[in-house]
Structure 1
Amino acid sequence: MTDTMHKIAAGLERAFAARGFAEPSVEDLRDAAGVSLRTLYKYVPSRADMVLAALEHRHGRYLSHLFDDLPDAPESALDALFDRVAIWMATETSHGCLFHGAVAAEPGSVPLRELLSRHKAEVARRAVEATGLAERETELLVILEGLTQAWTLHRDAAVTSAKRLGHGLRQLEEI
């Protein structure tokens, strides 16, 4: 990704995260990207491409936030993973998953649905690798998704519950 495209994608991500997918005008998105309208359309020729670019950028940031430098010990990694989701929710988006929000705003978009699916699959796969919970991708994803939804209402209690459920999966592995 070029520096210009990175700058555009980062600005678009911030704009959509702050204002949703319907509200920002093209001029608002141009301003958020910090480029001219011509440059914006050169790199992302449609609003749909702008949404996809923003979500691709977010995908990379989210994976990095969750998985970079996790503890090596699987149990510690499991707890750290849930703590990092809570930090993300507190600092990046207190109202839920931006990927789900994009699909909700444009339910017929195949590229958005594919990106959502790829994003969640990558999160689940990397969570399994980090925690040593082989073949528990779906269970871990359900816990992580539940945490992102419950965090807005229950904050620390949601994190505690996610950890309890995650450790319950570990106990099932030991049986």
Structure 2
Amino acid sequence: MTDTKTKIAAGLERAFAARGFAEPSVEDLRDAAGVSLRTLYKYTPSRADMVVAALEHRHGRYLAHLFEDLPETQQAVLDALFERVGDWMAAEAAHGCLFHGAVAAEPGSEGLRELLTRHKAEVARRAAAATGLDGREIELLVILEGLTQTWSLHRDAAVTSAKRLGHGLRMNGAA
């Protein structure tokens, strides 16, 4: 991704995360991206393209946050993943999952639904591989998604509960 394109995507991500998908005007999005309207439209020719650019940027940042520099043991990886999701929620996702928010804002968009599906599948696949729980992607995703949904209500207790569920999944072995 070019520097300008990355700058635009980062600004759009911040704007949509802070204000949702319906509220920001194109001028607000231009300001958040820190570029001219002409440059914004050069890289993202439509509002739909702006949403996709923001979500693609978010996807990369989220994967990096969760999976870079993981601990050595698979058990420690499992705990680290849940802790990192809690950290992400505290710092980045006070309003919930941006991908689910995008689909909720435009429920008829197959492209957004496919992006959501791809994002969640990659998180689950990488989590299963990193924890040695290959074949248990859906179970891991249920725990991770439950954590993201309950974090705003229960914070650290939600992380602790996710760890407990993850340990139970590990004890039951890979499928």
Unaligned runs of 5+ in 2: none
Q: CA deviation at 1:72?
A: 1.9
Q: How has the CA–CA distance of structure 1 residues 50 and 154 changed in structure 2, closer, same or farther, with 3 Å as cutoff?
A: same
Query: Residue 174 and residue 55 in structure 1: after superposition, are their counterparts in 2 closer, same or farther (change >3 A)?
Result: closer
Kindly tell me: are residues 32 and 132 of structure 1, through their superposed partners in 2, closer, same or farther at Cα, counting changes over 3 Å? same
User: Structure 1 residue runs of 4+, over 3 Å off?
Assistant: none
Query: Normalising by the residue count of structure 1, what TM-score does the alignment of the two structures yield?
Result: 0.98
In the alignment, the residues of structure 2 paired with residue 2 and residue 72 of structure 1 have an alpha-carbon distance, to the nearest angstrom, of 33
The answer to whether the aligner puts 1:156 opposite 2:163 as a matched pair is: no
Q: 1: CA distance between counterparts of 2:74 and 2:96? A: 26
Shift of 1:14: 0.2
Q: Tell me how large the CA RMSD over aligned residues is.
A: 1.0
CA-CA distance at 1:94 after TM superposition: 1.3
- The residue type equivalent to 1:130 in the other structure is A
1:97-116 pair list within 5 angstroms = 97-116=97-116
- Aligned pairs for 1:73-152 within 5 A: 73-152=73-152
Normalization by structure 2: what TM-score? 0.98
Between the aligned partners of 2:30 and 2:174, the Cα distance in structure 1 is 53
Aligned length: 175
CA shift at 1:163, angstroms?
0.2
Query: Can you list the C-alpha shifts for 1:36-68, whole angstroms capped at 9, x where unaligned?
Result: 000000000000000000000000000000000
CA distance in structure 1 between the aligned counterparts of 2:86 and 2:94, rounded to whole angstroms? 9
Sort the Cα spacing of 1:25 and 1:67 in 2 relative to 1 into closer, same or farther, 3 A: same
Q: Quote the Cα distance in structure 1 between the aligned partners of 2:99 and 2:60.
A: 13
Q: Percent identity?
A: 81
What SS does structure 2 have at the residue aligned with 1:107? coil
Q: Which amino acid aligns with 1:171?
A: M
| Unaligned residue ranges in structure 1 (runs of 5+) | none
